[in-house]
Every structure is written in structure tokens, then in C-alpha cells.
Chains A and B, each alone.
Chain A
Amino acid sequence: MPSVSLLLRRVAVLVVASALVTTAACGPLDDNGDGGDPGDQDRPIRPGGELRVALAEEPDLLDPTLARTLVGRIVFVSICEKLYDVDQDLNLVPQLAAELPDVSEDGLTMTIPVREGVMFADGTPLDAEAVKTSLDRHRELDGSARASELASVDSVESVDEMTVQVTLNAPFAPLTATLADRSGMIMSPTALAEQGEDFGTDPVCVGPFRFSDRVAQDRIEVVKDPNYYDAENVHLDQVTYRIIADSTTRFNNLRSGDVEVLERTAPIDVAAVESDPSLQLISSESLGYQGVTINVGNADGITEPPGPLAGDLASPLSESNVVRQALELSLDREALNQVVFVGQYSPACGPISPASPLSSDAAQACSEHDPAAAMDLLAQAGIETPVQVDMMIGTDAQARRLGEAIQAQAGEGGFDIQLNPTEFSSALDLADQGNFQMFAIGWSGRVDPDGNIASFLTTQAPLNTAGYSNPEADRLIEAARASTDLNERRQLYGELHSVVRPDAPIIYLYRQKNLTGVVDTVAGVEVFGDGLVRLAHAGFVEEAE
């Protein structure tokens, strides 16, 4: 039975913590700003134990060929390794491949040596034929979500037992990065033959853990795989991924010890994590971006050629890039970050993360916040103010706060923004149909910048909901894809930014951080820029129970 003074102290802590949580949204909190605190992840780890990880959403089918959700990748990282992976600095490194691919001079042939001595969780050995089977399935299975990612691949052949040759129909530099994601996951050919389309209900790949059980909307359990090639460095016996949708509930479960790892900690909870000695925070810069997409030419839906908007949707904003530049000038990215995300995220001006090896000064060029200049621009262009714009936003509290902050800032630059909270499924639909003026949305990000750019800015690309079309941008995107020279690609992306920025089909505003909360008794958790929580070397520290 705790003493009275202890009780009082606990109540006091509780009151202060609640007050912090409720006031966190109102003002900037102290932020150390380094954004790279890895927590103390190097302490000695004891073998065994079950680690519980709170996921923000329910993953979809656990079939690497058919899977589509970001959250699914967090589970895959434990059970399905890929040909390539990224390291802490986002450099591509071999995982199930023995080395980085050998690309022919014309960029049309890629030779991949397969790692020796590797077994799938069911004991099937990994060889070139298994790699071919998986890559072919990714490319050809009905409903494959990988087919478009591997569209540049013409054929896959196993040239000897441990070597695969990939022939491309055109040079495509981002392919190695593509093979560092689900397209590079290799499935057990034995399990594929046995299970066919039901592979996702009991996936078998190579990984530190193997799939054990799944209860819909509740949990996914994976257990240590003794067949794993690096099993001696895997400490945990089991990882249970628990699905906890609400961010407050997720955080409460971390504090109460009902989970040990919290994926995607809400920015307003960061102060509480940092002030709690029993918790640690791992923070890494994300590869994606968030911003507003402006409908500049998506008149008849995403599958139709872009054209001028008609009716209520037409506005100076869609018609003139000067108006869009004025809008960008009126937005204060740093203030947005402070007000909405308590300074936990980073301002962003373009689609490429500064953490990417392909980033450059040119790719990070940015306009300064200047509402007076925005008003001047509008006046010079003879635009009547305020410019009325309708902006589609999400329905959660954070989306509303962001919407209101944008509304207030744009108001100073001569814009009258109406907020239109729309449920996510409906919003995606309206965006695809071109039935919107402005949409606050972002992208989770890919390792190769092409994944953040080509689908959004190329004319008639599948995610180009802005309806943007600029032949010069198309040319630069294509050139950057085809080049195998890192420096040349970096330069091309810089040039691309300078071409797209004045058109402002997307106003990039901020980049999220991967904020992972971990209890103090756990070490070895790794989170890189891709946001995946890597647990291969995680475990409970020795002094812990």
C-alpha cells in the first residue's frame, strides 16, 4: 500500500502531465532541435522476452506482392527481408543480395548475386531460382501492387545457382531502391506453391522472426526464426504488433507498460515522453513530405489529360502561378511547425528530404515568408482580393489545427480559405476526380526521390491529382530516372525543383519525423529515415526484469 505522500505525489504528477497534454497544442514547447536523439540503444541485452509494439493502423494482407499499406511494411521488416535495404544514412546496402547490383553500361542489365547460406523460415534454401519466382510473381500476379513499381523490368533470369540477371526495357536508376522495398521481398517458393493466393494469411520469407498468428483488428504475432542466418544476434523470442488506432490511447498504453514500443508518437506527446524517465524517444527525419496540392489542371479526373478547370472550381489560384506563388509567400512554415506540431517536425520546401543522398542546395531552395510581398504580387497581377479558395482537409484534430493555421496565415497574404473537412476515403475520391481546389495531403516518402516525384509531377501520372503538366519537368524527371550517375541525378533533381517551384502545383510545407517511443527497459530498436521500426537486434536490457 503506497504511503499518503507517495499517493499525493502521484496525483500531482498526473495533474501536471494532464495539464501538459492539454496545453501542448497552445504554444511552442522547448525542443532541443537536434532531431537525432537515438535513445540509449547500445546497452547489453539479455536473450528472450516478448516485445509489444503499438501500430497506428491495421496492416492489410501480409503478402508482399499484394500489400499496400505503409504500416504493413513495419511488420514485413521483421518477417520478410529484401534484396536490398537502407542503412542509417539511407545508403542502399545488400540484404538478401550478396552485393549491390552490377549495372551494365547501357543501364539495361542488372546482375544481382544472391547471398549464400540463407534459409527461408520453412527451411527452403534461398537461391537464384527463388528470387526469380518472387520477382516474377511481383510482376505478374493478378492484383499485384508491385507490378507498376517493376514496370521497367522486362525479364528476370537465374544465370547460375546464386546469380540473377534482371533485364530492363529502359534504364531505371531507382530500381535498386525499389528492390529495397516490398518489390525486393523474396518469398519461400515452397510456401508459394502450397498456399498460392492465400500466402498472405501465413507468409513465409527470410527474416529475424517468422509469422505466427494474426487476430484481425487486434494483433499480429511473430516469433524468432531459428533458421535465420543471423539468428544468434536476434535476442527476442517474440514480437507482438498490437493495433491501437487512437494516438492518446496508444501513448497511454506505452506509459502504463502495456506496450514497449510506440510507432508514430504524436508531436504533442513528445514533451511527455521526454520528461518521463521510464521512456525514451527515437527520432529520425522522414523521407516523405506534407503540404497542399493545388488543382491546376485536373479538370476531368486523373485519367484524363489536364485542362483548364470549369465552373466553381475555376479560380485565379488554378489559373495563375503568380497567385500560387503569393499563397506560398503568405505561409510561414516555421510558425506552422511550432503552432501545429509543437516544433517537432521540420519545414519542407520540396519533395526531396535533406537526409537523402540525392538532395542538394538547389533541391532545398525555398521562398521566405513575406505576406506583404504576397499582397504586392496579387496587386501587380490585378487580382481582386481576397482570393476565395476552398481547401479539403482531414477530419481529425491535427488536420483541423493545420487547416486553421494555414487559413490564418493565408488571410494575411490576401486569401480567404474555406476549410472543408472531408473523411479520408471520400477526399481521395474527390481528389482523383479533380473535384477540389486545394487539398492538404502528403506522402509517406520513398528511399529514391523518384518515388516522391514522378507519380505526382509527371503529366498524367497516377498520383498527379494537381493535374500538373510541364514538358520541361517531364523531361528532367525522365532524365533523372535514366541516369545511373549519382552526381548527375542530384543535379537534375535540383534543376527540376527550380522548374516546378514557380508553378507551385504542390506547396510543400513540412516533413514529419519518425518519432518512436520506447520504454527504458528496451534497447536495440532502430528507426531509419524510412520510418520502419527494426527489431532484429532489439531486446530487454540486462538489468531489467
Chain B
Amino acid sequence: MGRYLLRRLVESAVTLVLATMVVFLGVRALPGDPARTLAGEEADPVAIDEIRRQYGLDQPVPVQYYRYLENLARGEMGDSLRTGLPVTETIRDALPVTLQLAVFSLAVAVLIGIGTGVVAAVRRRGPAEWGANTVALLGLSIPNFWLGLMAILVFAIAFPVLPASGFVSVFENPVESFRHLLMPSLVLGTGLAAVVMRQTRSAMLESLSADYVRTARAKGLSGAQVVLSHALRNSLIVVVTIVGLQLGGLISGAVVTEQIFVLPGFGKLTIDAVFTRDYPMIQGVVLVTAAAYIGINLLVDMLYSVIDPRIRVGGAAL
């Protein structure tokens, strides 16, 4: 396990360096000059040249890359071209917002998805399954932004019970934080809930017809015990894999949700950085995103062994 972890960590570091390189070259290949974009209406060529010089954009790309790595080694990602604020500070402010949104949404997705998935598998061909299927279909087919706008129209404007926008940290005021995140996480979570529901249902159907379930039933275990302790636990492997893969989707889905609910999160930061060609910011957010993906993958691999002790990471699986 230790050696395996070490190998994965080294691999991750290499992947990260490669990611910085791809991003560094990628953003510079984008059409549109950050100095020109930054100059905005004051597009005097002298001013634009001055901006290039000021931010080192007039240097050859390898020199810029070297400086970037040099700063990175010191834990600095430079200053935003747009606001002049340090990139690390801005990301540090934005990341908790998206993480809280992701955790809340994931909770919504898992609670709704696994619950309806189990019901749909156990009560087959009944109203419960139709109901669950309908919910899943709606969750998958309703676009986030529409659902978000409708939620605001209903719960913030027609019946003003929830705030239409903004963010309060859970550590600052848990109740207000919950009120602010309720709509966004429901909106973001429903899409994922549908996916989780479909996967749970099919994995459960497979488990329920397996021999060990029949054995458990024959041993006289109650229906609930069979479903929850045996069938569901075995089905969770698939579900965890899906949830892990979908987390990436959750972060990109968060872009839209954050725009609609005006959450100063990571997704919004990414979009704004790309549109304003804020090179240091784009590099910062991509680096952090890449690190997050790698971390989540590692975590999912570790979780396998917890859920199913037969799976041994790094060793031979049985």
C-alpha cells in the first residue's frame, strides 16, 4: 500500500508538471491578446506595450514559463492581470465556495439518487419505479440554468423564502450558509442524482438476482437487511466510481450554477479568467483543478478497498 501510494504520488507530480506546460502553452495559443483585452477602451498602442512589459508578456514563452515555475516553487502564482490581486489569494477565497457547493450537491445527489435507485430496484414495475424513473429523466433532461432561474423565480421572487444569490461560509453562519446554498445545491445535485439513481438501480437489480442474496434470504434475513447490508453494499462499488467520475462534471456544472446564483466560486473564476485572458489566473485555476482531479481519483481508488475488502490497491486483486 505504501509503495503503491508513493508511485501514485510521483505519477501525480509528473502529470501536474505536464498539465502546467499544456496550460501555459494553451492559453498563449488562444486568439486574443491579454494586453489588448486588459487595455479595454484605453487601447493606446503605447499603453498596450507598457502592459506587456509590465507583466512580462513581451518575453519569449520559455522565459515566461521558467519564471512561472520559479514562482510556483515559492508557492506564488503571480497577480491577476485583471484585478491585480494575488492569484493564490483569489483561489483561496473561491475554492471553499465551490467545495461547499460540491459537498452539498453531492449530498443531495447521493441521498436522492441512492434512495430512489434502491426503491426503483426493489419495487420493480410498480408506481415507485415509474416515479423514480420520471424523476431521473427530468433530472437528466432539465438544463441546470433553466432549473436555477425557475427556482429563483419561485423561491426568491414569488415566495421570497430564500436569497436569490450570494454566499455565506458555513463556518461564519451555518444557518445562513445553508439558506444560501440550498437552491444552488438542489439545482446542481439533481442532474447528478439522476445519474446516481440509474446506476444504483441497475447495480441493485444485478445484485438482487445474485446467488449470495438468495443465500442471505434463505438464511432468513429480513428484506431490509438483505437489501441494505448485502445488495446495496455490493452495488456501491459502481456508484462510487460513477460519483467520482461525476465530481469533475460537478465542478464544470458548478460554472453555470455559480453564474446564476452569483456564488464567487471556482467555476465563475475560471470562466472570467478565460474571457479576460487573465493568464496567471487561468494557469492557477487549471493547476488547482488538475490537482483536485488527481486527488479525487486517488481517493476513489482508496475507497474501493474500504467498500469491498477483496480489492487490494497496489496488490493483486482477488
- A residues neighboring B (CB under 8 Å): 2, 10-11, 13-14, 17-18, 58-61, 63, 66, 68-70, 142-145, 147-148, 200-201, 214-219, 242-246, 248-249, 252-253, 255-258, 302-303, 423-426, 428-430, 432, 443-444, 462-463
Contact = CB atoms under 8 A, between A and B. Distances in A.
A218 B165 CA distance: 11
B84 A69 contact: no
B163 A218 contact: no
B264 A218 contact: yes
Given A425-B276, A429-B36, A443-B41, A60 B82 contact: yes
Given A246-B259, A428-B37, A61 B84 contact: yes
B215 to A, nearest CB: 53
B264 A216 contact: yes
Interface string B142-166: 0000000100111011111001111
Contact of B163 (A14, A258, A423): A258
Counting chain A CB atoms within 10 Å of each CB, the highest count among B154, B164, B275 belongs to: B164
A256 B157 contact: yes
Interface stretch (B42-50, B65-73, B234-242): B42-50
A409 B260 CA distance: 35
Contact of A70 (B41, B156, B164): B41
Nearest to A197: B84
A429 B35 CA distance: 10
A529 to B, nearest CB: 17
Contact of A142 (B50, B163, B269): B50
Contact of B41 (A66, A253, A444): A444
Contacts of B34: 425
B45 A249 contact: no
Contacts of A18: 153
Contacts of B158: 10-11, 13-14
The 3 closest A-B pairs by CB, nearest first: A425-B32, A218-B264, A256-B164
Given A18-B153, A148-B46, A246-B259, A216 B165 contact: no
Contact of A201 (B43, B85, B93, B269): B85
A150 B100 CA distance: 48
B83 interface: yes
A160 to B, nearest CB: 33
Contact of B156 (A216, A252, A444): A252
Interface of B: 30-34, 36-47, 50-51, 54, 80, 82-85, 89-90, 93-94, 149, 152-154, 156-160, 163-167, 259-262, 264, 268-269, 272, 275-277
B83 A61 contact: yes
Nearest to B40: A68
A429 B33 contact: yes
Contacts of B42: 68, 145, 148
Contacts of A214: 83, 85
Nearest to B37: A425
10 contacts: A58-B83, A143-B47, A145-B47, A148-B47, A246-B260, A249-B164, A426-B31, A428-B37, A429-B36, A432-B36
A56 to B, nearest CB: 12
A137 to B, nearest CB: 15
B262 A242 contact: yes
B63 to A, nearest CB: 20
Contacts of B268: 217
B83 A252 contact: no
Counting chain B CB atoms within 10 Å of each CB, the highest count among A69, A217, A423, A428 belongs to: A217
A142 B54 contact: yes
Nearest to A302: B45
Contacts of B157: 14, 252, 255-256
B268 to A, nearest CB: 6
Nearest to B273: A217
A256 B83 CA distance: 29
B36 A249 contact: no
A4 to B, nearest CB: 13
B93 A215 contact: yes
Nearest to A63: B84
B93 A258 contact: no
Contacts of A17: 153
B32 A256 contact: no
B241 to A, nearest CB: 33
B93 to A, nearest CB: 6
Given A60-B38, A201-B85, A244-B165, A147 B31 contact: no
A266 B46 CA distance: 35
Nearest to B259: A246
Contacts of B36: 425, 428-429, 432
A392 to B, nearest CB: 12
Given A68-B39, A201-B85, A216-B80, A429 B31 contact: yes
A63 B83 CA distance: 10
Nearest to A59: B83
Contact of B165 (A200, A253, A303): A253
Contacts of B82: 58, 60
A143 B54 contact: yes
A506 to B, nearest CB: 15
A426 B276 CA distance: 10
Nearest to B82: A60
Nearest to A460: B45
Contacts of A430: 31
A18 B94 CA distance: 32
A60 B31 CA distance: 21
B39 A60 contact: no
A69 B40 contact: yes
A13 B153 CA distance: 11
Contacts of A429: 31-33, 36
Given A60-B84, A256-B157, A258-B156, A425 B33 contact: yes
Counting chain A CB atoms within 10 Å of each CB, the highest count among B34, B50, B157, B163 belongs to: B157
